[in-house]
Amino acid sequence: MDTKIAVFLCNCGGAIKNIDFEATRERISKIPGVTSVDLSSGLCFEEGKREMVSRIREEHPDRVVVAGCAPEFSECVFQQVLETAGLSGRSFSAANIREQCSWVHDGDVTGKAVELVKMAVSRVRLLRTLEKKELPVSREVLVVGGGFSAIGTALRLSRIGLPVTIAAVEEVLGATQDGVESFYRCDIDTMKSAVEGDRNIEVLTPARVTSAHGEAGDFAVTIEREGERIRRKYGAIVLATGFTTELSPVSVKGLPVVGGAGSPANIVSQEQLFRMLDNGATARKPETIAFLLDSCDENSRFPTLATLNNAIAARVKWGSEVYVFCKDVKVDSEGAEKLYREARGCGVVFVKCDSAPRLAIDDGRISIEARDVFLGADTIVDCDLLVAEEVLCPPEGTEALADMFNIRLDSRGFYQDENVHLYPVGFEKRGVFCVGGCRGDLEASRMANDIHSVAMMIYGLLSSGVIEAEIERVKADTQKCVACLTCIRVCPHSAIRLSRVDNGKEIAVISDVACDACGICAAICPAKAIVFEGYRDDQVLAQIEAIGES
Amino acid sequence: MKGRVIAFCCEHSAYPAADLAGRLRLHYSESLRIIRVPCAGRVDVIHMLKAFEKGARAVLVLGCEDGACHHITGNTRARERVEQCQVLLDEARLDGRSVAMHNISPNAPQKFVRIADELVNAKEQSREAI
């Protein structure tokens, strides 16, 4: 039996003017297989949709083509209509005669419109419907990390009803932020007690994730805690491993000197200065303090905030003279501009210099020499305390976790999120997310945003307990596949693995859940064994063959 | 389909760019035909060659900008394949320059129109030269 195709033409309420719809209808109805052609002037309105449903129920077509607006919009609307009318959403194809035909040309474009509809018809004829299945998922979430972002994420997830396990390498939660909460602007004690009182949250410390495999909804993870191996199933993984800071080495007369504990001079980190300011037990208040900022690391959002806060505190509390040597002060984070003004207001001196300042250490005092860009002259400051520039680094173990979950790292070694604008907390591997400092330069206000978006994405993924997936949308042919592993190597979503099928042969099996339907494997497969429904070779070629047939 | 230009457009970048060109009422050659693909990496050599077999004047493969591919490596794979196709065309004594790969972002309709126009004009000029 031949496939019956129904074509619906829509003139978008008169927005398509330069196409002769009557002539188009006549020419399309001559295409073999097309059983009905309907004209409408508002197919996406409720009325139009109702009419479309009743026409489909009358005519019983196998496939439907809608010629009108861009598929970006029409696809989801009309697939729903088809499903209401009892057809599969997969029996649909759109012909974009508005954005890509009527609106980009002057004069009559009926010929091109007919061609576009013909292309859609020849594609839709070859479409196959796919079975949809609901796959059960584990609703448990694993949060890796023990800092502010990890605890925040766990609390939020538990509040929306998902059981959470926290696995942290630290001895206790929040150990790295102990005593410096206000430096990081977070109230970790309240959060820690909230975690203790939460029956939905299980805390494993000190624990390390040693292996993980699987896909969204079904990750098998092994966690090692004090020599004991715990094997668990999780639906989603959140990486919240945070960041560490390193003092960038300052060069004294050509020799690099690293500050911090046991350093030859009074070179300290921001955190050390904060502790000194906080406990107030310093033997002698430093009279002059100098900060270095933004001379070797461009990503200085967090160090800028720390510098500004500490500079103001030192100025107010100790009354010291404070100098900040910097290339630029970057004030794009929340509240930074205000802090900068406040710092200027209370007497902090900012020295803008193009090249790194030259340092000399003499009898415990540090002399800093830099060329002030505005004065055009060298500025020399003798100080008691130098706060070195800090560079943010990924914590130990980041690489191992990235390997485990197939995540790429960025140039500095932090997790590379999929798309900074659209999916800032997601990865190309579905079901794995990252929040907080492990994404690179981040401060508290952005972290809160991250936690909200991760919670929302995980809720969408796991809350119903099932993931709906189309079965075998992309599939390797058992006969043709020779297990050459090319597809496994190229798949950006690590959705393919080798698996033994019934007759004992090993072939590539594509996970229906993890696959994002890009078709890279189908194009690269040397045996042409991978079939990608919707964009099969014959479906693409049929469209090409339909071009210019008239 | 003599003289047609076939553009394989990635649905994450070039296809929305083409739609946006429509919404802005920008104009490009009427001979351009767009085929939507889920990623430029889906386009295979056979698809490009088929277009030439059917008489296409030129073939464009349009993917996401470098480093911004929705499927990470799709655009680089597409470029490899376009280069492969160019070699095949040259070997067959056809003009390898008839097939080109470009990167485009979804909010760049002007760039889409420029790429399309440049290719169409270049091919028209080379035809006149013959």
User: Along chain A (550 residues), what's the average pLDDT of each consecutive run of 10 residues?
Assistant: 89 91 94 93 92 93 94 91 92 94 93 94 93 92 92 94 94 80 76 90 92 91 93 94 81 56 67 81 79 79 88 91 91 89 95 85 81 90 87 89 87 81 80 88 80 93 91 92 94 90 89 92 95 95 84
Query: Is residue A73 within 8 angstroms of chain B, CB to CB?
Result: no
* Helix pair angle (A148-159, A188-196), 10° resolution: 40
**Nearest residue, CB atoms, B34 vs list A98, A100, A109:** A100
CB–CB contacts below 8 A, A to B: 117
Question: Residue A273 has what pLDDT?
Answer: 86
Q: Which of A69, A122, A427, A544 to mutate to test the interface with B (most CBs of B within 10 A)?
A: A544
A76: tokens are 């989801």
The CA distance from A382 to the nearest CA of chain B, in Å, is: 46
Q: A519, B30: Cβ pair inside 8 Å?
A: no
What confidence tens digit (pLDDT) does each residue in B8-42 have? 999 999 999 999 999 999 999 999 999 999 999 99
Query: Among candidates B115, B76, B56, B78, which has minimal Cα distance to A541?
Result: B56
The dihedral over CA atoms of B30, B101, B18, B114, expressed in degrees to the nearest 10, equals -70
A472: tokens are 């075998």
Q: What is the mean pLDDT of chain B?
A: 91
Query: Among candidates B70, B79, B7, B85, which has minimal Cα distance to B38?
Result: B70
Q: What is the mean pLDDT of chain A?
A: 88
Query: Is residue A70 within 8 angstroms of chain B, CB to CB?
Result: yes
Query: Is residue B50 within 8 angstroms of chain A, CB to CB?
Result: yes
Three-point CA angle A512, A515, A519, nearest 5°: 120
Measured distance CA(A436)–CA(A445) in Å, rounded: 10
CA distances from A28 to A25, A51, A334, A386 (A): 5, 20, 58, 79
Query: Among candidates A542, A23, A29, which has minimal Cα distance to A8?
Result: A29
Q: Which helix (H) or strand (E) holds A219?
A: strand A218-225
Query: In chain B, how many domains are there?
Result: 1
Query: Is residue B33 within 8 angstroms of chain A, CB to CB?
Result: yes
Domains and CATH numbers, chain A: 5-130 (3.40.50), 141-243+394-462 (3.50.50.60), 247-391 (3.50.50.60), 472-532 (3.30.70.20)
Q: B55, A105: Cβ pair inside 8 Å?
A: no
What confidence tens digit (pLDDT) does each residue in A385-398 have? 888 888 888 998 89
- What is the distance between the terminal CA atoms of chain B, rounded to a whole angstrom? 20
Query: Is residue A515 within 8 angstroms of chain B, CB to CB?
Result: no
User: Which phi-psi region, left, alpha or beta, contains residue A324 (left: φ > 0; alpha: ψ -120 to 50)?
Assistant: beta
The amino acid occupying position A166 is I
Question: Residue A257 has what pLDDT?
Answer: 60
Beta strand A92-96 with A63-68 is: parallel
Strands (E) located in A114-217: 132-136, 141-144, 164-167, 201-204, 207-215
CATH number at residue B52: 3.40.50
C-beta pairs of B50-54 under 8 Å, 24+ apart in sequence: B50/A541, B50/A544, B50/A545, B51/A544, B51/B6, B52/B89, B52/B94, B52/B98, B52/B99, B54/A544, B54/A545, B54/A547, B54/A548, B54/B1
Q: B25, A72: Cβ pair inside 8 Å?
A: no
Q: B71, A518: Cβ pair inside 8 Å?
A: yes
- What is the separation of C-alpha A39 from the centre of its chain, rounded to a whole number of angstroms? 43
| pTM, 2 dp | 0.82
- Percent of chain A having pLDDT more than 70? 95
Q: Which of A69, A100, A406, A539 to mutate to test the interface with B (most CBs of B within 10 A)?
A: A100
Contact A215, A511 (CB under 8 A): yes
Measured distance CA(A75)–CA(A517) in Å, rounded: 16
Task: Give the range of the structural domain holding residue B94, as residue numbers without chain letter.
Answer: 5-129
Measured distance CA(B6)–CA(A548) in Å, rounded: 11
Question: Residue A260 has what pLDDT?
Answer: 47
Residue count of chain A, please give it.
Answer: 550
A161: tokens are 């009803």
Measured distance CA(A410)–CA(A427) in Å, rounded: 12
SS3 per-residue string spanning A242-298: CCEEEECCEEECCEEECCCCCCCCCEECHHHHHHHHHHCCCCCCCCEEEEEECCCCC
> What's the half-sphere exposure (Cβ side, CA atoms, 13 Å) at A362?
8
The CA distance from B51 to the nearest CA of chain A, in Å, is: 6
Question: Residue A496 has what pLDDT?
Answer: 92
Measured distance CA(A497)–CA(A489) in Å, rounded: 10
**Nearest residue, CB atoms, B73 vs list A70, A102, A492:** A492
Q: Which helix (H) or strand (E) holds A386?
A: strand A385-387
What confidence tens digit (pLDDT) does each residue in B39-78 have? 999 999 999 999 999 999 999 999 999 988 888 889 999 9
> Maximum distance among all alpha carbons in chain B?
41
Query: Among candidates A496, A545, A546, which has minimal Cα distance to A519?
Result: A496
Question: Residue B68 has what pLDDT?
Answer: 83
Interface predicted TM-score of the whole assembly (ipTM), two decimals: 0.95
| 3-class SS of residue A350 | strand
What confidence tens digit (pLDDT) does each residue in A174-232 have? 887 777 777 777 788 888 899 999 999 999 989 999 999 888 999 999 999 988 999 99
